[in-house]
């Protein structure tokens, strides 16, 4: 399980909840029961529902957030329900005034009194979880409403439940001047819908289309790439939405050649170059399953005919902490960070050295 978050540790966790049936009673109090055993919780906000459920959990102490993420990442809310992918959020605090009903709950008054009881309960036990779910279905399908106008309630409900980005934008335009602004990051997360096409912005001018292919092909079969170098952006179409989701999950906010990538989903359209500087490639890949490994600072390089010579070449390109010769034709290389891992993938994937192709694999 990849335990590296795309952002530095924070008191606020971003939960991406998948494999959830429509009848599952996801609510703030269920998440509170699951996460309060790691420490006092300040606020919880479920801000997206449907196929891609997401939620924020804010702790008082960053150590509690780190412990919760370490223990919960990759696990399920219940047996076979609600697989958790957990990131540290870049938000400084949760503003619950932009939501209503069950989507946001302030636990400021309840955390100190309730968390001690919850900490000692084994909430990972499937039988206990099922009992809790039954209770939540009866009791907590809606948490108390805050004092907000019916008009504002309707606006926010339309925004979070809208089926299209345009509809969400229309709702946002109707906000009153007294309504707190929704940050761009939260707005993008609310309105985006997964797509086979992703857009990557802030591409350094040293990066080539081949380098981008070498990186993004590690996370799924690519059908097309359109690299608009003058705009420092690239569009990538994958064979499936799932491949695009995996790539975005791993690579969004990654720094590559001193530029931090911003990755967003793009509605399906025909990729085609518009200037002579644009690079456009079509790829033909097998339809079979692709083995996808999480990013790591340690990789294996096989197909090496001259280990010492290759080692020197690698040191010229990336920052390494250690290179081990583990056999006559393979190396184990430890990089300074994940950004350096991406560089070696970009430059040396399928690289031919003395008529022998190098193969990169993750540890």
Instruction: Kindly report the pTM of this predicted structure.
Output: 0.49
- Whether the pLDDT of residue 314 is over 80: the answer is yes
Angle between helices 111-119 and 28-35 (to 10 degrees): 60
Place of tokens 């924070």: 10
Cβ-based neighbours of 94, under 8 Å, separated by 6 or more: 12, 42, 43, 45, 56, 58, 104
What would the pLDDT profile of 118-168 be if each residue is shown by its tens digit? 333 344 555 555 555 555 444 434 434 444 455 545 544 554 444 444 444
Confidence of residue 21 (pLDDT cuts 50, 70, 90): confident
pLDDT of residue 231: 93
Confidence of residue 186 (pLDDT cuts 50, 70, 90): low
Highest averaged pLDDT of the listed ranges 109-113, 160-164, 183-187: 183-187
Highest averaged pLDDT of the listed ranges 176-185, 225-234, 269-278: 225-234
Confidence of residue 261 (pLDDT cuts 50, 70, 90): very high
pLDDT of residue 309: 87
pLDDT of residue 80: 84
> What whole-number distance in Å separates Cα of residue 75 and Cα of residue 73?
6
Of the ranges 185-189, 190-194, 241-245, 251-255, which one carries the lowest mean pLDDT score?
185-189
Of the ranges 43-47, 249-253, 279-283, 295-299, which one carries the lowest mean pLDDT score?
43-47
Angle between helices 241-251 and 209-216 (to 10 degrees): 100
User: Over the chain, what is the mean pLDDT?
Assistant: 77
What would the pLDDT profile of 219-231 be if each residue is shown by its tens digit? 999 999 999 999 9
- Whether the pLDDT of residue 296 is over 60: the answer is yes
Place of tokens 């780190």: 66
> What whole-number distance in Å separates Cα of residue 99 and Cα of residue 204?
38
Residues above pLDDT 70, as percent of the chain:
68
Angle between helices 307-317 and 338-348 (to 10 degrees): 120
Cβ-based neighbours of 276, under 8 Å, separated by 6 or more: none
């Amino acid at each position: 399980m990849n335990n590296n978050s795309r952002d530095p540790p924070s008191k606020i966790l971003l939960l991406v909840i998948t494999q959830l049936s429509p009848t599952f009673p996801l609510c703030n109090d269920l998440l509170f029961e699951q996460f309060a055993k790691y420490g006092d919780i300040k606020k919880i906000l479920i801000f997206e529902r449907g196929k891609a459920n997401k939620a924020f959990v804010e702790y008082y102490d960053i150590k509690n957030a780190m412990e919760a993420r370490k223990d919960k990442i990759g696990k399920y809310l219940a047996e076979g329900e609600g697989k958790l992918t957990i990131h540290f959020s870049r938000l400084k605090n949760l503003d619950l005034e932009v939501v209503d009903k069950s989507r946001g709950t302030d636990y400021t008054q309840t955390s100190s009194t309730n968390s001690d009881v919850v900490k000692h309960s084994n909430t990972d036990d499937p039988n206990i979880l099922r009992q809790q779910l039954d209770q939540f279905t009866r009791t907590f399908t809606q948490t108390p409403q805050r004092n907000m106008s019916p008009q504002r309630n309707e606006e926010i409900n339309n925004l979070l439940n809208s089926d299209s980005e345009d509809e969400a934008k229309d709702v946002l335009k109707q906000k009153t001047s007294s309504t707190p602004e929704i940050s761009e990051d939260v707005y993008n997360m609310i309105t985006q819908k997964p797509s086979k096409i992703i857009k990557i912005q802030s591409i350094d001018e040293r990066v080539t289309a081949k380098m981008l292919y070498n990186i993004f092909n590690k996370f799924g079969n690519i059908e097309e790439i359109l690299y608009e170098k003058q705009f420092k952006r690239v569009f990538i179409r994958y064979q499936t939405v799932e491949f695009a989701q995996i790539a975005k999950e791993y690579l969004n906010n990654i720094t590559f050649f001193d530029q931090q990538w911003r990755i967003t989903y793009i509605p399906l359209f025909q990729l085609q170059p518009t200037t002579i500087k644009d690079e456009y490639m079509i790829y033909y890949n097998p339809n079979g399953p692709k083995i996808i490994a999480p990013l790591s600072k340690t990789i294996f390089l096989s197909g090496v005919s001259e280990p010492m010579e290759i080692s020197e070449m690698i040191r010229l390109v990336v920052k390494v902490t250690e290179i081990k010769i583990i056999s006559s034709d393979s190396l184990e290389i430890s990089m300074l960070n994940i950004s350096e891992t991406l560089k070696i993938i970009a430059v040396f994937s399928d690289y031919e050295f003395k008529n022998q192709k190098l193969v990169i694999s993750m540890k």
